[in-house]
Amino acid sequence: MFVCVCNAVSDHQIIDAIDEGACSFEDLQDNLGVAKTCGTCSCEVKKLLSEKVEKSLASQCFQTVSVSQAAPI
């Protein structure tokens, strides 16, 4: 499905870009050109980024908590 109609960018392309290291809205704008024309897609791009980053952080969170708990303060 196209998320950014102005630049013909699909949700799959956005997810792939995030998987390849894009970690901010600005990264996606720079890499894919999303939300740089009319801006209508901004909310959907941010939603996809947020969902994907939350999933990624959730999987890393346990490791981060484990490391921080191991080191005495």
The dihedral over CA atoms of 5, 54, 31, 20, expressed in degrees to the nearest 10, equals -120
Is the CB of residue 45 less than 8 Å from the CB of residue 35?
yes
Q: Does 34 bind ligand FES (CB under 6 A)?
A: yes
Q: Does 24 bind ligand FES (CB under 6 A)?
A: no
CB nearer to ligand FES: pick between 23 and 39: 39
- For the bound state, the minimum distance from the C-beta of residue 30 to ligand FES, rounded and expressed in Å, comes to 14
| Cα 9 to Cα 7: distance, rounded to the nearest angstrom | 6
Q: Site residues (CB under 6 A) for ligand FES?
A: 4-7, 34-41
